[in-house]
Structure 1
Amino acid sequence: MNAVRTVLGDVPPERLGVCDAHDHLFLSSPALPGQELHKVSAARAELAAFRARGGGSVVQWTPYGMGRRAADLPALSRESGVHVVAATGLHQRAQYADAVIDELRGRLAEVFVAELTEGIGTSGVRAGLIKVAGGFHALDAHARWTMTAAAEAHRATGAPVSVHLEHGTGALDVLDLLCGELAVPPHRVILGHLNRSPDFAGHRQAAEAGCYLAFDGPSRAHHATDWRMPDAVRALAEAGFGDRLLLGGDTTTDAGRSVNGGPGMPYLLRRVAPRLALAVGEELVARILTENPGRAFAVEWG
């Protein structure tokens, strides 16, 4: 039995509607000092703007210890009419103080499972995916630790595993570890930020492995996102992998919100989807935004 675990409960995959497959309503990162996403009012406005463009669901990839504000998510989802999926998991080592990592030693998988099955903190909001991260063209000890815990949590809960690829690199190393050594089924793995490295051969190899490929982060400065993404998606579609593709916005700073003059969540539907439709057709874009996320983010059990 499959369902997508939203902050308001489990819903059938076909009820997601148009999905922003990777974004952030709330985020606090030491890499982005002074640019935190922490305002409830701004998150509310962003969801409303996304909904006005036809958006139906948002998958928030903000993991443990990075300002998820899980307790605020149900009301925002209810008020906006947009399904929201929350994440457990752990980002790169640089995102955390030593005390946080020390406190998680020996129980990381246990924390992930608890947040997936019981709730995040005292919020009662259950996470719907496990987010981890690789490094630049490599996997360090921290990445291997977090991915090992993610694999354990996946086996215990059936939740999908999403992966931040640093600058879009290291996809095959991630798959060797997660799907090879740790035996996570490839269709339960979502690789993020492939737009940042326009390596068409690497994209093809990752797709052949059976995972989902997310092109997320439109109009991010110094990334090869906007101008190469349609070509990358077309190449994958022509090779028969249209059912493995996802699109997301990945808003990470307050200035990047549409309500503050940035592209924000609506940009995905306002500019990215129409431009992509010119390359691969409206029918495929519709499937990438609706059908594919329903499969990718479903929790499998039973």
Structure 2
Amino acid sequence: MVKVRTVLGDLSAGELGVTDSHDHLFFRSALLPGQELDDPEAALQEAKDFAAAGGRTIVQWTPYGLGRGAEWLPEIAKSAGVHVVAATGFHRADHYAAEVVAEVRPRLAELFVRELTDGIGDTGVKAGMIKVAGGFHVLDAHAREVLIAAAEAHHATGAPIGIHHELGSGADAVLELLVDDRGVPPTSVILGHLNRFPDHELHLEVAARGAFLAFDGPSRANNATDPHLFECLGALVDAGYAGQLLLGGDTTTAKARGATGEGPGMPYLLTGLRPRLIRRFGEEFAADMFVANPARAFAAPWAG
């Protein structure tokens, strides 16, 4: 049966409710020194604030080796009254020490499948998606190897695959590898960060392939492209692709948290962006983007 795999167990897709489709309660990378999301109390408060704003589900895209806090996620979900989807997967190589890449790369598909079906380490928490990364416009050798492993894990489990696109680029190359070469259904692919490369023609091309398109809400990291968000969404809505659009906050630094940093944080998706989306596109569109579309994007016919 098609379900969404959360840290507290599998749910029917209709139980997700209002969803932040791409965010981070925990995240640690050498590329962001001093900005680690590693405080469980701060993560809990952020989740509670999101719930108080009407949020029901947080999809955390933090993959293997980047401090995803799997041991804390179930208690945060219970205490905040939200569903949390965790991720397996592997990021761009420069997020890791060289020895970690060398040790993990030969067994990526095996690792992904194990974390999706048996759980992450000894936590008992099962991942509910695979998060991997493309390259800048083209796929380097590392990206190709990780994407191929993700395709293998998808075929073994049914799990959806979320893609970090470097500066929003390369979505066409990712679809060529995953869908054309490796047979992953486009409806199991979520193309992330597309607002970081506000090329309407490219967005329309990849939407026509049937994948889900994920956009980030206002963020400190991508403030230069944030003003193009509504233009990008409008072009896709006008072309009939409203049913394939997702929105997330993508909070990757302590400074960007709303609860303990300078914001905007997870709640802003609902307190700031959602009212504007309703004024521009209507209530039905907002319901699709926050409820109906995530329910389809993160549901899978799980094997294992």
TM-score band (shorter)?
over 0.9
Q: Partner of 2:82 in structure 1?
A: 82
Mind listing any 5+ residue stretches in structure 1 that lack a counterpart? none
> Per-residue displacement from partner, 1:91-119 (whole Å, max 9, x unpaired)?
00101112111212321100000000000
Q: Partner of 1:203 in structure 2?
A: 203
The amino acid that maps onto 2:88 is T
- Secondary structure of 1:132's counterpart equals strand
> Per-residue displacement from partner, 1:55-103 (whole Å, max 9, x unpaired)?
0000000000000110110000011111000000000010111211121
The amino acid that maps onto 1:283 is E
Q: Distance in 2 between matches of 1:10 and 1:88?
A: 16
Q: Distance in 1 between matches of 2:301 and 2:200?
A: 30
- Secondary structure of 1:163's counterpart equals strand
Q: TM-score, normalised by structure 2?
A: 0.97
- Secondary structure of 1:121's counterpart equals coil
Q: Which is further off, 197-206 or 229-238? A: 229-238
Q: Does residue 258 in structure 1 map to residue 258 in structure 2?
A: yes
Q: Partner of 2:275 in structure 1?
A: 274
Q: Partner of 2:158 in structure 1?
A: 158
Q: Partner of 1:285 in structure 2?
A: 286
- Secondary structure of 2:272's counterpart equals helix
The amino acid that maps onto 1:21 is S
Q: Distance in 1 between matches of 2:289 and 2:144?
A: 30
Q: Partner of 1:98 in structure 2?
A: 98
- Secondary structure of 2:67's counterpart equals coil
- Secondary structure of 1:49's counterpart equals helix
The amino acid that maps onto 1:133 is A
Count of residue pairs the alignment pairs up: 302
Q: Does residue 54 in structure 1 map to residue 54 in structure 2?
A: yes
Alignment of 1:1-302 (within 5 A): 1-259=1-259, 260-301=261-302
Mind listing any 5+ residue stretches in structure 2 that lack a counterpart? none
Alpha-carbon distance, 1:261 to partner: 2.5
Q: TM-score, normalised by structure 1?
A: 0.98
Alpha-carbon distance, 1:133 to partner: 0.3
> Per-residue displacement from partner, 1:115-165 (whole Å, max 9, x unpaired)?
000000110100000000011111100000000000000000000000000
- Secondary structure of 1:109's counterpart equals helix
Runs of 4+ residues deviating >4 angstroms: none
Q: Distance in 2 between matches of 1:85 and 1:49?
A: 18
Q: Distance in 1 between matches of 2:120 and 2:179?
A: 27
Alpha-carbon distance, 1:278 to partner: 2.1
Q: Distance in 1 between matches of 2:275 and 2:235?
A: 18
Are the counterparts in 1 of residues 190 and 211 from structure 2 also a CA contact under 8 Å?
A: yes
Query: Identity of counterpart residues, as a percentage?
Result: 57
Q: Distance in 2 between matches of 1:126 and 1:39?
A: 21
Are the counterparts in 1 of residues 27 and 252 from structure 2 also a CA contact under 8 Å?
A: yes
> Per-residue displacement from partner, 1:171-196 (whole Å, max 9, x unpaired)?
10111111111111100000000111
> Per-residue displacement from partner, 1:208-250 (whole Å, max 9, x unpaired)?
0000000114233454443211121121111111110000000
